[in-house]
């Protein structure tokens, strides 16, 4: 996609979130128009009062009325500013919530390979920080900026009616300050980027250190770790200092310019008054205008920064939303299925590092399959493919001779009970029961027990245990074995590197280098006296030597 075209679609995407709130945004816009015009009317009124006094045209009564009018305008500015920031902030928060919900909803349904490429930290940042960056943009920058622009145009228009050369003087001063602000902006951005980078580094370092605190202690690396931390901490300090210096020059310089230009305008305006081209009231109003112009300029650099990060943030978010969700069909998994087949399946996670090579397998309903193979031989990959987490590059996976991709993945995953070797215990996400025990620390084995229990409680048709018993003691493993005995009629796929769970009727598959090299029952494979019998003998010897 071309850059400008992409920007356009990002913008449309952002606007689509604002659409439901268009009446509120319109209201905020009107409130803003009122604030802008009231702000302009205040100096204009003051000008009239002063000029009337100077020209001795005013009665006490009219001075009183004018003062009331100014008071009314000031109160109006106060009320409408509140209304408009109230509306904006509420809508902004609502829009953010919707964007956050929609991005996360999308992320949850993304295919597995998206998560292989992106780190958890990055996705987290997208869903939280990036959305917040957008919020600041909506509420603090966008409408505020429009208001400032309107006020500035109004001021220039009114001033031109008072005195054109003075207006030019002010425009000249203002433009030079804007130029300065923009030059500065570059430096500010560099400083900000550096600061953010050092904070990110510091955070991830602390994170890793605390997670691995026991390793640090075991390897006696605490001191070394602290030295590295000190270095990062100092980098952060230096970046903060740089930011401080940058601001220490920027803000005071603008303040100085503000006073300086006040002096310049009094000097030039005074001469214009004497030569009759300007009234005293007009000079006073212009001094007011000057103040009103300086505030937005002062904020310009900040706002530009917010704009920048909002643009970057929306691009990041948009990129995530653009990633296609998992694709699947409509067919519901048949509970009385006959067979699951892998037919000449080739699969690689990346490029042509084939994990499965021309892999064939047939599992019939009611089969008990035991899959053996060394670490990294592709056992888990087979399960990943079966559950539709990844698509094979070549070949097909068929359920009752219908390609897997025609099935609704939800119905497949619902009918498969899967316990993976690294199934974590979701304290919060999976069940409510555990919410109260978040703080209870569980050992890996304990976690596995509760996982296994929970997963076994759901109704299912195929059970898959992927090295699920590796952290269990022999008693619990025995329980699982008994359990499997009880559900013999169901289809089961067992992956194990210990042979404790083997039963006579199991169909044993030996996976090697992405291919099945041996299949058969225990007795047959033993008499074949090849790979399986080697594994079996080794296991026996190993456990005997332990007893």
Ligand X SMILES: Nc1ncnc2c1ncn2[C@@H]1O[C@H](COP(=O)(O)OP(=O)(O)O)[C@@H](O)[C@H]1O
Please choose which of Mg ion, ligand X, none residue 366 contacts, taking the beta carbon within 5 to 8 angstroms, the exact cut-off set by kind. none
| Minimum CB distance to Mg ion, residue 420 (Å) | 8
- H helices of 109-163, where? 112-117, 120-125, 131-136, 143-162
Least Å distance between CB 378 and Mg ion?
8
Min separation Cβ 119 and ligand X, Å: 13
In the complex with Mg ion, the residue whose CB is nearer, 303 or 379, is 379
Applying CB under 6 A, which residues contact ligand X?
116, 349-350, 355, 373, 375-381
CB of 419 to Mg ion, least distance (A): 12
Identify which of residues 64 and 122 has a Cβ nearer to ligand X in the complex: 122
How would you classify the pairing of strands 515-520 and 507-512? antiparallel
Out of Mg ion, ligand X, none, what residue 258 binds, judged by CB under 5 to 8 A for its kind, is: none
Distance CA 442, CA 128 (A): 29
What DSSP string runs through 41-81? Answer: HHHHHHHHHHHHHHTT---HHHHHHHHHHHHHHHHHHHHHH
Is residue 380 involved in binding Mg ion (CB under 5 A)?
Answer: yes
Spatial separation of the C-alpha atoms in residues 533 and 523, rounded to whole Å: 9
Q: Within 212-221, where are the H helices?
A: 213-218
Sign of CA dihedral 148, 150, 151, 156: positive
Q: How far is the CB of 363 from ligand X (least distance, A)?
A: 17
Report the C-alpha gap between 265 and 277 in whole angstroms.
14
Nearest by Cα to 387 from 407, 364, 367: 407
DSSP 530: S
Nearer to ligand X, 279 or 381 (CB): 381
Partner touching 377 among ligand X, Mg ion, none, CB below 5 to 8 Å by kind: ligand X
281's contact among ligand X, Mg ion, none, with CB below 5 to 8 A by partner kind, is none
- Distance in angstroms (rounded) separating the CA atoms of residues 260 and 176: 13
Q: State in angstroms the smallest separation of the CB of 448 from ligand X.
A: 17
CB of 457 to ligand X, least distance (A): 26
Q: Do the beta carbons of residue 507 and residue 521 sit within 8 Å?
A: yes
Residue 373 interacting entry, from Mg ion, ligand X, none, C-beta within 5 to 8 Å by type: ligand X
Residue 32 vs 369, nearer CB to Mg ion: 369
Least gap, CB of 404 to ligand X (angstroms)? 18
Stretch that binds Mg ion, among 23-31, 48-56, 373-381, 426-434 (CB under 5 A): 373-381
| Alpha-carbon distance values, 471 to 457, 497, 535 (Å) | 20, 12, 20
Query: What end-to-end distance do the CA atoms of the chain give, in Å?
Result: 66
What number of residues does the chain have? 547
Token pair 């268009």 is at which residue?
22
The residue number with the shortest CB distance to Mg ion is 380
377 touching Mg ion, by CB under 5 A: no
CB of 467 to Mg ion, least distance (A): 6
Only one residue has tokens 């539709």, namely 388
CB under 5 A: which stretch of 8-16, 121-129, 376-384, 429-437 binds Mg ion? Answer: 376-384
Task: Report the C-alpha gap between 495 and 501 in whole angstroms.
Answer: 10
The residue among 31 and 480 lying less far from Mg ion, judged by its C-beta, is 480
Site residues for Mg ion, 461-490, by CB under 5 A, read: none
Q: Which two tokens stand for residue 66?
A: 């004018």
Chosen from ligand X, Mg ion, none, partner binding at 256 (C-beta under 5 to 8 Å by type): none
Cα separations (Å) of 188 from 145, 181, 193, 224, 238? Answer: 19, 10, 9, 34, 14
Kindly tell me which of 52 and 423 has the beta carbon lying closer to ligand X.
423
User: The tokens of 392 are what?
Assistant: 């094979």
* Count of residues interacting with Mg ion (CB under 5 A): 2
Q: What angle do CA 356, 362, 366 make, to 5 degrees?
A: 130
Residue 154 interface partner, choices Mg ion, ligand X, none, CB cut-off 5-8 Å depending on type: none
Residue 350 contact partner, candidates Mg ion, ligand X, none, CB within 5 to 8 A by sort of partner: ligand X
Q: Tell the smallest beta-carbon distance from residue 348 to ligand X (Å).
A: 8
Minimum CB separation of residue 538 from ligand X in Å reads 18
- Residue 235: CB minimum distance to ligand X, A: 33
Question: From CA 109, how far away is CA 106, in angstroms rounded?
Answer: 5
Nearer to ligand X, 99 or 511 (CB): 511
Helices (H), 424-530: 444-457, 474-486, 522-528
Select 28 or 383, whichever has its Cβ closest to Mg ion: 383
116 or 302: CB nearest ligand X = 116
- Residue 363 CA from chain centroid, whole number: 41
Dihedral sign, Cα of residue 219, residue 224, residue 230, residue 231: negative
Please choose which of Mg ion, ligand X, none residue 375 contacts, taking the beta carbon within 5 to 8 angstroms, the exact cut-off set by kind: ligand X
| Residue 263 exposure: Cα atoms within 13 Å on the Cβ side | 6
Question: Do 517 and 358 contact (CB within 8 A), yes or no?
Answer: no
Give the binding site for Mg ion (CB under 5 A). Answer: 379-380
């Amino acid at each position: 996609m071309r850059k400008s075209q992409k920007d356009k679609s990002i913008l449309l995407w952002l606007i689509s979130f604002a659409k439901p709130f268009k009446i509120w945004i319109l209201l905020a816009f009107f409130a803003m128009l009122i604030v802008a015009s009231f702000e302009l009317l205040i100096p204009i009124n003051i000008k009239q009062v002063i000029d009337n006094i100077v020209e001795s045209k005013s009665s006490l009564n009219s001075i009183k009325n004018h003062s009331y009018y100014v008071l009314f305008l000031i109160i109006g500015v106060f009320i409408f500013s509140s209304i408009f920031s109230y509306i904006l902030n509420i809508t902004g928060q609502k829009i953010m919530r919707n964007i956050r919900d929609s991005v996360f909803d999308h992320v949850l349904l993304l295919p597995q390979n998206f998560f292989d490429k992106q780190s958890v930290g990055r996705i987290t940042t997208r869903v939280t920080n990036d959305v917040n960056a957008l919020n600041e943009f909506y509420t603090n920058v966008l409408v505020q900026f429009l208001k400032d622009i309107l006020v500035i145009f109004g001021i220039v228009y009114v001033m031109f009616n008072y005195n054109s050369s003075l207006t030019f003087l002010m425009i000249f001063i203002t433009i030079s300050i804007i130029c300065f602000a923009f030059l500065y902006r570059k430096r500010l951005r560099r400083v900000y980027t550096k600061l953010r980078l050092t904070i990110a580094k510091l955070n991830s370092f602390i994170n890793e250190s605390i997670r691995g605190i026991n390793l640090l202690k075991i390897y006696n690396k605490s001191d070394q770790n602290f030295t590295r931390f000190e270095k990062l901490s100092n980098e952060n300090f230096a970046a903060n200092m740089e930011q401080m210096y940058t601001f220490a020059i920027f803000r005071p310089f603008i303040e100085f310019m503000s006073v300086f230009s006040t002096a310049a305008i009094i000097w030039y305006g005074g001469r214009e008054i004497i030569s009759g081209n300007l009234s005293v009231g007009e000079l006073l109003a212009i001094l007011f205008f000057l103040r009103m112009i300086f505030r937005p300029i002062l904020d310009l650099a900040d706002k530009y920064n917010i704009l920048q990060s909002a643009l970057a943030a929306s691009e990041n978010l948009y990129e995530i939303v653009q990633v296609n969700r998992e694709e699947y069909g409509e067919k519901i998994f048949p509970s009385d299925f006959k067979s699951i087949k892998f037919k000449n399946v080739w699969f690689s996670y990346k490029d042509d590092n084939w994990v499965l090579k021309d892999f064939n397998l047939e599992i019939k309903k009611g089969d008990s399959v035991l899959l053996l193979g060394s670490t990294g031989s592709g056992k888990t990959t087979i399960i990943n493919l079966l559950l539709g987490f990844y698509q094979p590059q070549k070949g097909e996976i068929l359920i009752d001779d219908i390609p897997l991709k025609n099935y609704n993945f939800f119905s497949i995953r619902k009918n498969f009970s899967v316990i993976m070797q690294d199934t974590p215990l979701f304290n919060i996400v999976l069940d409510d029961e555990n919410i109260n025990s978040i703080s209870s620390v569980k050992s890996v084995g304990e976690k596995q027990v509760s996982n296994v229990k929970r997963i076994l409680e759901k109704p299912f048709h195929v059970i898959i245990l992927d090295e699920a018993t590796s952290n269990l003691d022999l008693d619990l493993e025995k329980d699982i074995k008994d359990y499997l005995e009880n559900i013999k009629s169901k289809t089961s796929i067992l992956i194990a590197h210990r042979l404790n769970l083997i039963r006579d009727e199991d169909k044993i598959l030996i996976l090697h280098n992405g291919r099945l090299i041996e299949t058969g029952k225990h007795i047959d494979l033993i008499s074949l006296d090849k790979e399986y019998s080697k594994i079996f003998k080794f296991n026996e010897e190993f456990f005997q030597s332990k007893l």
